[in-house]
Amino acid sequence: MRPPNSLLIAVLVATVVLAPLGGALPAVVHAADAVTRRVLPNGLTVLVKEVSGADLVTVEVLTRAGPRVEEPGEAGLGALTLAALLRGTKRRTAVQIALTLEGVGAALSSATSADYTRLSVMALSRHIDVAMEVLADLVTSAKFDAPELETVRRINGTQARSAADQPVTRAQQLVAAQLYALHPYGNPTLGTVESLAGLTRERVVAFYRTFYTAPSMVVVVAGNVRAEAALEKVGRFFSQVRSDPVPHRVRLLPAVERALAPRPQARQELRETQRTSAAGVAVGYLGAEVGHRDWAALRVIGALLGEGLSGRLFVEIREKQGLAYAVGGGLQTRAGPGLLIFVAGTEAPNVPRVLEGILREIARLQETPVPAEDLEAAKQRVIGTHAITHEDLRSQAFNLGLYELLGVGYAYDARLPQVVAAVRAEDVQRVARLYLQHPTVGIVAPPGR
């Protein structure tokens, strides 16, 4: 049987708050530290959190430039643009960017997710100007040299092909594409080899100029820096960020995306064959957007069923029956309708029993109130995970920016534990009956299975 890999692990541990990018240095956490919010004249939203206890600072730039804003035929454009802009600006090559940051001991990270792209630099507090200057350079004057763009296209294409060759990942892609058939969330983050081939340099540049703009961006500064000093620096270094408004079609998304991603009215099943000894199973449902009254209960359902070694699916399917080498899942937190998905990696003959086991546990949630101790354990798992993702400056800054960018405001980050703690057993059962009625199933297995 094929062992689990990093892509599978990433699927199984997906939670409401994304884990911090690797390599962040620890810092003392002060949960009560105030956050200063300011919108600059060009429309850029800036958040500053003063954190004493370590001579460090992190600067995060989150931009609404993920798959959610891609148009038909543009799958992978957000990730391609982010990777390409890191290959050099009009002032610096990629090597010079690295040398500039490494010369002061700073670290640059980047990521693309459904709703955003992320650039992050952590440095000693005295080198905050270097961090901001490099980040501002990246978001205002990326060069997009044709040879560099082709290199990035090949790399992303290889990664996209590799992801699609993993049974569990591919099963998840099938489910997402079906549930978001008309919504850009259905696009794989990296795109496909075919979609990447059609993304010309002109389209990349146009996407960059459209979405790497002040009204589409949140800059977060956290660390050993005074709020007024940080605001002055952001205003100075990011003054050249374009102030073009968010495109009209993107502003309309909140009003129409439920129509673009309606909840299914019947069970759906998609099957695909791969020449592999392993099989992947995914069961997905459309949930609610972050901040919705049902979001916290869906988040708890995700934890109750799919997270950790005590999740019901892990206990029942893997530990008791030995039917899968990996099983889990959870709710993907999004600005639009979130995806609640549960996945398993198994041997092909076990697929029917694994699928039956997942659906049986979901039915149990709908039919039987969750015992008080199980509910409390699931809520504490969510709250604990949330706390762990705040253990360093980089993740503190990211979480503030994430909720601001998703439209619920940075303060939701601090409120989240209370929102989750308020979930009752009757909320879980009601939401399970409402949202988990008709599963969308994706199965990837060897031929003949």
With a pLDDT cut of 90, the percent of the chain lying above it is: 88
Using DSSP's 3-state secondary structure scheme, residue 414 falls into helix
Bridge partners (DSSP) listed for residue 119: 61, 110
Return the CATH class of domain 263-445.
Answer: alpha beta
Is residue 71 scored above 60 in pLDDT? yes
Domain 32-255 adopts which CATH fold?
Cytochrome Bc1 Complex; Chain A, domain 1 (3.30.830)
pLDDT score of 276: 87
- Residue of 391 and 273 predicted with greater confidence: 273
Please check the confidence at residue 27 and state whether its pLDDT lies above 80. Answer: no
* Distance of alpha carbon 355 from alpha carbon 327, whole angstroms: 11
Greater confidence, 414 or 14?
414
Nearest to 166 by CA among 59, 276, 270: 276
pLDDT at 441: 98
pTM for the whole structure: 0.89
Q: Which whole number is the average pLDDT over 245-266?
A: 93
Share of the chain above pLDDT 70, in %: 92
Which residue stretches of 238-283 are H helix? 248-260
Instruction: Average the pLDDT over 248-259 and give the result.
Output: 92
**18 pLDDT above the threshold of 50:** no
Q: 8 pLDDT exceeds 60?
A: no
The encoded tokens of residue 442 equal: 């994706």
What ranges do the domains of the chain cover? 32-255, 263-445
Residue 47: strand pairing partners: 37, 220
Locus of tokens 């919705």: 292
Q: What is the pLDDT of residue 52?
A: 84
Which of the four pLDDT bands, split at 50, 70 and 90, describes residue 5? Answer: very low
Mean pLDDT of 172-199: 95
Q: Residue 173: pLDDT above 60?
A: yes
pLDDT in tens, 210-220: 999 999 999 99
Q: What is the pLDDT of residue 33?
A: 62
Average pLDDT, the chain: 91
Q: Does the fold of domain 263-445 match that of domain 32-255?
A: yes
Alpha-carbon torsion (261, 381, 402, 205), positive or negative = negative
d(CA 449, CA 445) in angstroms, rounded, equals: 6
CA 277 to CA 449: how far, in whole Å?
11
What's the pLDDT score for residue 21? 34
What pLDDT, on a 0 to 100 scale, did the predictor assign at position 31? 40
Helix (H) or strand (E) holding 140: helix 128-140
Q: Is the pLDDT of residue 389 over 70?
A: yes
Cα separation, 78 vs 208, whole angstroms? 9
What would the mean pLDDT of 31-51 be, rounded to a whole number? 89
What's the CA angle centered on 216, arms 195 and 244, to 5 degrees? 95
What is the chain's Cα-based Rg?
22
pLDDT digits (tens, 9 = 90+) for 112-140: 999 999 999 999 999 999 999 999 999 99
The predicted pLDDT at position 2 comes to 36
At residue 449, does pLDDT exceed 60?
A: no
pLDDT per residue as tens digits for the range 283-328:
999 999 999 999 999 999 999 999 989 999 999 999 999 999 999 9
Q: How far apart are CA 346 and CA 279, in angstroms?
A: 5
Q: Decide the pairing of beta strands 35-39 and 326-331.
A: unpaired
Residue 75 pLDDT level (bands cut at 50, 70, 90): very high
